[in-house]
Structure 1
């Protein structure tokens, strides 16, 4: 089959879907990566994956621009005689579904989070729900990454019974993200690492406020931010704000990286106080490297941790609650931290191995050929 795999960035396809595409190519399928051209497009091409560029922004709302994106997708699917589309991200799912329905092409969307529109209910939320209702009922199968999103779609009638299933996130390459030795330090004060785009919705503000509280009791504790800043997302945190936090001495900004492993290995705990996720890959990667994680009870985030066993949880949008969880971790001895990390690694290998996700896609595609 000719399979198009679509997202609103080449970065996403490289980091979350490259191994899937390579596996499908090894099965004999013709795979086309569809995304805007960016600095990561060359990584797709160098991997032997064919790429088609389309204009598909992550946060635009100008209807003429959005319509152009749908028409471009339709043209790419039609010109390449695509048989099935595998989509990701809110816009990628909705726009590719519209394009597929106009051409009679089968599509399998992956709900990897509901995006900002579902964090702050608005007119955009109502439009998104309407588009989901009009399109997802015709999907061959809908993959959900967490039960909260799945329940929303079922209660709202946005997906048909028997046409959906849950995946363990995007999965993790547990061989590449292997258990890392712990760093020997002169103090028990931990190093906390937040890995995410620098967005308010990721809980970066709560991380900073909690850091101030934690340092009141453990002044030697260290707090790092790792991830891209200055995006076009409305929730983006500007570099001026990040620089101000650094000048205050509360946090160190590490910028962005194509390889998070050295940073995770240096940390004692990886923190993500996000308001909503699909299933955050960064926390699964941290757990795969045997690092405890601290996150919120928000949809998607809570799936990544068993509270008190593989990490710690707190309420979303609650800096004091986050600080309390971080203080609990800081009070642990090294053996307890290591044990927590080992249990997290074992759970990821058992439940979130990327191969599980790849096999489920293979099963869905095989059902199309019966």
Structure 2
């Protein structure tokens, strides 16, 4: 019989997006069960149908909610005792803490947690102390921790969250890699469709398009991005900034000044959330991604596979995907002036890059099968322990 593996994320959108295709691949080798919270869009059902694995709904919050968290731990514990999995493997911060604790008490032999970012890095004071403590508890309950970048690996050791013998980066990094066949300009060679999208968005054929893809929140550097672009747009009327993503008003909202720039600058175009971001990459010239913190950002890999250079901040993940002067440039964090200068260099063509190299570097290091095979080998190695 196949051994059983349970994969856990806090919200089903992470199962659907972060682990796209991976659960189905692993189900050929193991009995896979996916766990996440209930949601109003039936995403868990969609994941089950697409990945061909059973799913179980156990509610988990993304905030600090002690009573609800204890209830979630208990429900996870009961499920783990019933299913007796060989591995529990969690992603996202809250799912990691709750499922690692529950799996430890349930006697699960292999408790794995993938780190795809550390929100605590932008916290201060008592909140930082609390988040550090929770992180240490998670790592203590886990039997193995997989940072999805070498930068995160180093940060975890610097913060003394755990020891080196519990840490490993799979392949070259990333939680799931990307489908380089899906993210390819070959699907967008029909210029009629590209022109139609530009016309819909009020982008002229001669316009230079900066693009940002992701959540529109403070710690993604949206304040600096809009400030830098707002200055550029005053003297460069053919520059456009395309924002593809949703606002998140609960956890990390943008300030009023940033929102005012977005609402009053006609050269800034906000599309909202998009199921397929490829058409937007296809009409853009460069990705601007000035995030404060990341694990291993899919957006930067996706843009590269679509032959776009990227302006990124000098943070883990981003500074591993981008090689200065080859497929983009790296700037300091929270530095609107540096971002402004980098955007102008690419606009003025004083920064030279190779479109083919942008894609080549992604295909070589981060295509999805490389990550899947690396993780599968890790699971296989655990069978002998």
Choose the corresponding residue for 1:81, options 74, 77, 84. 84
SS in 2 for 1:237: coil
Cα separation, partners in 2 of 1:357 and 1:342, compared to 1, 3 Å? same
Measured after TM superposition, the shift of residue 328 of structure 1 is: 0.6
DSSP-derived class of the 1:229 partner: coil
Aligned residue in 2 for 1:176: 182
Which residue number in structure 2 is paired with residue 351 of structure 1? Answer: 365
Unaligned runs of 5+ in 1: none
Q: What corresponds to 1:2 in structure 2?
A: 4
Given the alignment of the two structures, is residue 280 of structure 1 paired with residue 297 of structure 2, yes or no? Answer: yes
- Which position in structure 2 is the counterpart of 1:262? 279
RMSD of Structure 2 on Structure 1 (CA): 2.4
Asked if structure 2 preserves the Cα contact closer than 8 Å seen for 1:242 and 1:253, the reply is: no
- Show the counterpart of 1:17: 19
Q: Does 2:126 align with 1:112?
A: no
Note if contact 2:104-2:142 (Cα within 8 Å) is conserved in structure 1.
no
Partner of 1:92: 95
Instruction: Report what 1:122 is aligned to.
Output: 125
The alignment partner of 2:324 has SS state of coil
2:151 aligns with one of 123, 148, 153: 148
CA distance in 1, matches of 2:122, 2:267: 28
Counterpart contact for 2:223–2:258, Cα < 8 Å: no
- Report the CA distance between 1:268 and its aligned residue: 1.0
Shift of residue 239, structure 1, vs aligned partner: 10
2:329 is the alignment partner of 1:312: yes
CA shift at 1:241, angstroms?
6.4
**Structure 1 residue 201 and structure 2 residue 219: aligned?**
yes
Between the aligned partners of 2:283 and 2:96, the Cα distance in structure 1 is: 36
Residues 225-265 of structure 1 show CA distances to partners (whole Å, capped at 9, x for unaligned) of 111223532x1238996476233324111000111111111
Displacement of 1:203 in angstroms is 0.7
Does the aligned pair in 2 maintain the 1:246–1:252 contact within 8 Å?
A: no
Number of residues of Structure 1 aligned to a counterpart in Structure 2: 363
1:327 to 344, 350, 365: 344
- Helix, strand or coil at the partner of 2:18: helix
Q: What whole-Å deviation, never above 9, does each CA across 1:323-365 have from its counterpart, x for those lacking one? A: 111001101189x45x2x3212111111111212211211121
Is 1:367 aligned to 2:384, yes or no? no
Which sits farther off after the overlay, 258-267 or 156-165? 156-165
Aligned to 1:303: 320
- Using the size of structure 1 for normalisation, the TM-score is 0.91
Greater shift in the superposed pair: 154-163 or 320-329 = 154-163
Does structure 2 retain, via aligned residues, the 8 Å contact 1:246–1:253? no
CA distance in 1, matches of 2:17, 2:217: 19
Distance 1:189 1:308 in 2: 24
Other structure's SS at 1:219 match: coil
Q: Which runs of 5+ in 2 are unaligned?
A: 196-202
- Pick closer, same or farther for the CA change 1:241–1:163 going to 2, 3 Å: closer
